[in-house]
Amino acid sequence: MTTDKLQGEYITFKDGEYQIPDNPIVGALAGDGIGPDIWNATRMVLDAAVEKAYAGKRTICWQLLAAGEAAFADTGSYLPEETLAAIKKQLIAIKGPLSTPTGGGIRSLNVALRHHFDLYACIRPVRYYEGVPNPMKRPGDLDVVIFRENTEDVYAGLEWSAGSVEAEELGDYLREKLKVKLRSGSALGIKPMSPEGSKRLIRKAIQYAIDNNRRVVTMVHKGNIMKFTEGAFCQWGYDMARAEFSDQVITEEELVTRHQGDWPPGKILLNDRIADAMFQQLLLRPSEYDVLATPNLNGDYLSDACAAQVGGLGIAPGANVGDGIAIFEATHGTAPKYAGLDKVNPGSLILSGKMMLDFMGWKEAGELVEKALQKAILGRQVTYDLARQMDGGEEVSCSTFASLIVKSM
C-alpha cells in the first residue's frame, strides 16, 4: 500500500451524507491485465480535471492498494486484509478489472468485494458519446442509469449440482413437504429476494432521480411469471415509494386515475415494465426511459444490451455502492492478451472516475472529464477498438489517448 500525498484527509460518512475534504484520500486498485495501463491513463485525466477545475484548492490523494495477481505474488492473498481495511477507512475507491483466480477458493474478487462491503447497488449510466461507432440509427436517444441489485436473486450463490447430496435432500423435501413435481437428479438453485433488499435498491434509484433531475424511474421485473420474487420486487417498490416519497413521486396508475394523464410538474414518475418487453422498449422507444431499477439477473442482461446500443462496453462506466462505501470500476475485464501493451481504451475507467467525482460533489471536474473525452473522440485519434470502426480514425496508444483528453480540457 502506498500513499503518494501523505497530507490527505479521510472522507467521512455521517447521517447518510459523505463529508469530502478538499484533499481526500481515495483508494485505487489498478487491477490485473490491462488494469495498470488504464489506471495510469485514468489518473492522469482525473488529476488534470481536478487541477483545472479547482486551481490547486482541491486535490485527490490516491492511496494505491494491492489486489489481484500482484497482491497474490507479494502476500499470498488476492484480496489482502490490509486492502479491505484501507477501503473501509477511505469509503471511496476506484478499481481496474481483477482476474478471477482459477482453481477454486474465491468465486470472483469482484463478487467478494461486493459481498464484503455489502455494495448492494450496481450503478451503470449508459449514454451515447458522439462519434462512437454503434449499430443504432439514433443512439443519442438512449440515456439511462441502471440500478441493478447486487446481492440477491439467482446470483446469491445458492445452487447445488445435479446428483449432489444437497440437491437430492432438498429435492426430497420439496417433493414430500411441498408436493412439488421434480425430476430426480435435477440440479437446484434458489432465488431469494427480500423486501429489505429490494426496497433499499429502489430507494437508491429514486433518490438518484431526485438528486439528478431525472424524471422517470422504471422497475424492470419478470413478475408475470415469478410472482412472489420479481412481482414482489415491484410491489415492494411501490409500497416503499408511497411510504417514503409521496411528495416527490407519482405512480403511472396515479397519473391516470388522479391526474387525468397530466404529469404534475416536478414529480418523478414511478412505473414498471416486464423484462422481455423492456428489451424492446429500449430499442424502440429509448427516450421514454431514464432511471431503471432491476433485480440482479435482469440488470446484468440489460446493462450490457444498453451498452451495446451506444457502442459497447469499451467506454461503459460503473460503480458498486452500499450505504457509506462506494467502489467505482471499469465494467470490462482484464483483457489479458493486451496486458502491458499500452493499447486498450481507458474510457470505461475514466468515465467511472467521472462518476466518482460527481458522487463526491466535484461536479465541475466531472463535467470537464466528460466533455474532454467527448472532444477527444471527435478528434478521431483514438484507441484501436474505436479507430478500426471509425471513418478516418487514427489509432493511438492508451496513454496518448489519455493525454489527448487532457489537452482537450
Q: Which of 299, 308, 301 is nearest to 121 (CA)?
A: 299
Q: Which of 385, 402, 404, 405 binds ligand NAD (CB under 6 A)?
A: 385
CB of 345 to ligand NAD, least distance (A): 4
Is 363 a residue of the active site?
A: no
Interface of this chain with ligand NAD, residues 28 to 87, rule: CB under 6 A: none
What does the alpha-carbon distance between residue 85 and residue 77 come to, in Å, rounded to a whole number?
A: 14
CB of 99 to ligand NAD, least distance (A): 4
- What are the C-alpha distances in Å from 68 to residues 73, 75, 83, 113, 133? 9, 10, 11, 12, 32
Is 300 a residue of the active site?
A: yes
- Residue 96 contacts residue 30 (beta carbons within 8 Å): yes
- Residue 101 contacts residue 68 (beta carbons within 8 Å): no
- Residue 80 contacts residue 71 (beta carbons within 8 Å): yes
Is 155 a residue of the active site?
A: yes
In the chain, the amino acid numbered 313 is L
Number of H helices, E strands in the chain: 14, 18
Evaluate the CA torsion angle 4, 9, 13, 19 in order and state its sign: negative
CB of 289 to ligand NAD, least distance (A): 25
Q: Residue 148 interacts with ligand NAD (CB under 6 A)?
A: no
Q: Residue 124 interacts with ligand NAD (CB under 6 A)?
A: no
Of the pair 332, 354, the CB lying nearest ligand NAD is at: 332
Q: Which of 36, 133, 231, 333 binds ligand NAD (CB under 6 A)?
A: 333
Catalytic residue among 300, 342, 358, 385: 300
Catalytic residue among 10, 276, 363, 407: 276
Interface of this chain with ligand NAD, residues 150 to 209, rule: CB under 6 A: none
Residues recorded for the chain: 409
Binding mask 87-106 for ligand NAD (x = CB under 6 A): ----------xxxx------
Q: Which H or E element spans position 399?
A: helix 398-407
Binding mask 14-33 for ligand NAD (x = CB under 6 A): --------------------
What does the alpha-carbon distance between residue 348 and residue 341 come to, in Å, rounded to a whole number?
A: 17
Is 222 a residue of the active site?
A: yes
Q: Which residues of the shown chain bind ligand NAD in the complex (CB under 6 A)?
A: 97-100, 110, 314, 329, 332-335, 337, 344-345, 348, 385
Task: List active site positions.
Answer: 155, 222, 276, 300
